[in-house]
A and B are shown apart, each in its own frame.
Chain A
Amino acid sequence: RKEVEQDPGPFNVPEGATVAFNCTYSNSASQSFFWYRQDCRKEPKLLMSVYSSGNEDGRFTAQLNRASQYISLLIRDSKLSDSATYLCVPLSGGYNKLIFGAGTRLAVHP
């Protein structure tokens, strides 16, 4: 089983839609999680950190379910500029390494 599994997508949604991505992780010792977004031909950029059960920042909400070992990202009122690949990243048990998922592609259309 992969350490991090994400639906590769693409998710094609209209502007204004709500979209959710799920991510499952295999290391039950992971305590912290991150969502990064990566635009085409650019570097990954930190979107959100999750240190407890969840986090909310504007239109973005992350929720963590430790019992089922999955973390979700909800985007409300999608904008064209949200089009990107979203990477789910648990922190490894060693607290030094980030384990990057392959990412979920989101395409928001007018």
Chain B
Amino acid sequence: DARVTQTPRDKVTEMGQEVTMRCQPILGHNTVFWYRQTMMQGLELLAYFRNRAPLDDSGMPKDRFSAEMPDATLATLKIQPSEPRDSAVYFCASRGGRTYEQFFGPGTRLTVL
């Protein structure tokens, strides 16, 4: 049963610390998305990659967030320095082939104190 995996599942950190979240897309999927979900804003697209190249990161605060895909099996989202307003659930999703359906990982629940 192919699934998107994300680590860590939960992260509690203090303001100013660096946070790195990791995602392993479904094997063979060539497009990876990062979303953030809060009660107030719902699900927001932060960035996405196709064939490891960033296509759109307009939803991401540029000064503190960065997203990379060092290889086809790993995507990372980094926040440096973290702030309390970054507290949210961060989801990774992947898509493959000729379909448009995206499949989500379980998310990383981030709390910045």
Residues of A within 8 A of B (CB): 32, 34, 42-46, 49, 87, 91, 95-98, 100-103
Bound state CA distance, A3 and B46, in angstroms?
17
Let me know if A43 and B43 touch, CB within 8 A: no
Nearest chain A CB to B77 CB, angstrom units:
15
Among A42, A98, A103, point to the contact of B102 (Cβ < 8 A).
A98
Taking A34-B101, A96-B48 as contacts, is the C-beta distance between A42 and B106 under 8 angstroms? yes
Nearest chain B CB to A48 CB, angstrom units:
10
Main secondary structure of the interface of A (DSSP, over half): loop
Interface size in chain B (residues, C-beta < 8 A): 18
Let me know if A32 and B104 touch, CB within 8 A: no
Let me know if A43 and B104 touch, CB within 8 A: yes
Answer whether residue B18 sits at the interface, using C-beta atoms and an 8 A cutoff. Answer: no
Q: Give 9 nearest A-B pairs by CB, closest first.
A: A43-B104, A100-B43, A102-B42, A44-B104, A91-B100, A46-B101, A43-B106, A43-B107, A32-B100
Let me know if B45 and A97 touch, CB within 8 A: yes
Q: Mark B55-77, 1 if CB is under 8 A from A, else 0.
A: 11000000000000000000000
Among A32, A43, A96, A101, point to the contact of B91 (Cβ < 8 A).
A43
Let me know if A44 and B43 touch, CB within 8 A: yes
Q: List 29 A-B contacts (CB under 8 A).
A: A32-B100, A43-B91, A43-B104, A43-B105, A43-B106, A43-B107, A44-B43, A44-B104, A46-B101, A46-B102, A46-B103, A49-B99, A49-B100, A49-B101, A87-B43, A91-B100, A95-B100, A96-B48, A96-B50, A96-B55, A96-B56, A97-B45, A97-B56, A98-B45, A100-B42, A100-B43, A101-B42, A102-B42, A103-B42
